[in-house]
Structure 1
């Protein structure tokens, strides 16, 4: 799941905001994402954006909203239903091609339209769609440009925090991401050498079937790169996802911690425009029921609750340490 938005206290230390969430918005024939830089781990070189869908959360802040809490005075309050309608309308005005760019555009429009809003935080999970193959003569199948399936796969994530200044909106924070990655590696992963004491019941595994879920988030050194105006500087969620699966394939890791560290190193090497990358992983590894079969065959079952998780963040200093 995506990271939760952090409440932003005002100068007094008070948390005060309100907003709308679960705003589903769909745009057909948005601007295509063209001109992205390709990388060795991924075939992704752009997307048509025939369907551009998002699940949006809006959070607004401003001292003029205090009276609505303390006095029941709604004279400065923009109804959250109006916020929903505002987001839907602006989806038709946005002429860019990225999730982060869309959030930045709508947040800027909020600040421009409503003077009582001092800052806006918006986040969104992409609602992804898959092209469906259809026959195109000579028994060949090609992706349809008309029919799509709602995807159950991973999706892009973005979060933007804008504040008001005399020169216009300022990006205080911006996060890109990809969430709900699910990967299973049938062999080539181990878990050995951990603390053994009277509480240990887990056997060491020199080779295990490893099933993980993974959310990856990143911050740019220059957040303007996330808006897609210079596509070669933009980091697509699809490419970060592909790096994760390629590293998982290539690396014989001794833990999930080891795995996500090596994924992070690869991401930072491929994208020097990043400031940092962070992870939340969850261990869903199946339990062996039988391993007495021939060769590498095993019978496995779902793991019991509870499940383990890992969180980790990295920046370019980790690459420098690795080079020493």
Structure 2
């Protein structure tokens, strides 16, 4: 039996960087969690412990901080591409960089008191987190961008049914033509190219997801998932593939009959586990395939 070294990569995980931009008394915040993974001529560091090809993970971390200062932080896709290209372009032993970023949003707190023109108080905005995943072989090489979000919590209090499913000896779930449909959406979408207006694209994709969720009379969460992915593709032709993960956050109507009370779908028990987990991909079947973009 021959034993060989297979695919490998290394990097720095969860580099937390907060960039404050000061415009007089008005401040702006970018709050990021950056993950880096590099690959290339790394055989010897595994086989013999020779570190000559290794850019330290500490240097990778410091690059994030230095670039946040030197270049600022605009859209996370731009910042990720900037970092990925730098690692490949600057080090001959590094051939590929993977950079993944989570962005935590902050909204400015309205201030009635205090000096005019001072705006430096913030509150975390929303539950969802914006994400991106960039792969780069360096400037002029193959590159890909996947944008997305996690924990977009949504709920329809009606307009959802579930019936006609398989019934075997273990089935106890009753059919229903009126139920709560709730989920926490994780969505990622792959771009055809690298010239997108990232901010506009993100806002449009988020809006498309919400519009489709609200506008679909659902016979299953799978049907809603497909409608959401289809809406993103329809509204933004620069997006060619959408992948969605949607847990079914079950809400069960409580039996209030022991207390002499009716419950026409007004009082529910929100069960956090176990839960159904629905996953799916919606794509343009003419778009070039790129499974590596998601990894």
TM-score (norm 2): 0.84
The 5 Å alignment of 1:165-244 reads 168-225=139-196, 228=198, 234-236=200-202, 238-244=203-209
Say which of 252, 261, 265 aligns to 2:230.
265
The Cα shift of 1:317 comes to 4.8
Partner of residue 121, structure 1: 98
- Which among 74, 77, 80 is matched to residue 97 of structure 1? 74
Tell me the residue number matched to 1:40.
Answer: none
Corresponding position of 2:47: 70
State the secondary structure of the residue aligned to 2:121. strand
Contact (CA 8 Å) 2:19, 2:73: kept in 1 or not? no
Contact 1:290 1:298 in 2 (8 A): no
Query: Using the alignment, how far apart are the partners of 2:86 and 2:264 within structure 1?
Result: 58
Report what 2:30 is aligned to: 52
How far apart, in 2, do the equivalents of 1:71 and 1:317 lie?
45
* 8 A Cα contact 2:27 2:119, kept in partner: no
Match of 1:41 in 2: none
Unpaired runs of at least 5, structure 1: 1-11, 32-47, 138-143, 319-324
8 Å CA contact retained: 1:157, 1:179:
yes
Call closer, same or farther: CA 1:211–1:163 in 2, change over 3 Å: same
| Number of residue equivalences | 276
Q: CA RMSD for the aligned pairs? A: 2.8
Q: How far apart in 2 are the matches of 1:317 and 1:30?
A: 46
Displacement of 1:118: 0.8
Residue in 2 aligned with 1:16?
8
* Residue number in structure 2 paired with 1:42: none
Query: In 2, Cα distance between the equivalents of 1:296 and 1:239?
Result: 37
- Against the structure 1 CA distance between its residues 96 and 134, is the aligned structure 2 distance closer, same or farther, given a 3 Å change threshold? closer
Deviations 1:14-65 (A, max 9, x none): 121111111011112399xxxxxxxxxxxxxxxx9921121111000012x2
Match of 1:315 in 2: 283
Give me the whole-angstrom Cα distance separating, in 2, the residues matched to 1:250 and 1:291. Answer: 31
> Residue in 1 aligned with 2:213?
248
Partner of 1:25: 17
**2:269 alignment partner in structure 1:** 301
After superposition, give the CA deviation of every residue in 1:131-178 in whole Å (9 maximum; x if it has no partner): 2233389xxxxxx842111335112110011114xxx34243320111
Which residue of the partner structure matches residue 161 of structure 1?
A: 135
SS of equivalent to 1:27: strand
Deviation of the 1:290 alpha carbon? 3.4
8 Å CA contact 1:291–1:297 kept in 2: the answer is: no
Partner of 1:6: none
> Matched residues in 2 for 1:135 and 1:201: separation?
56
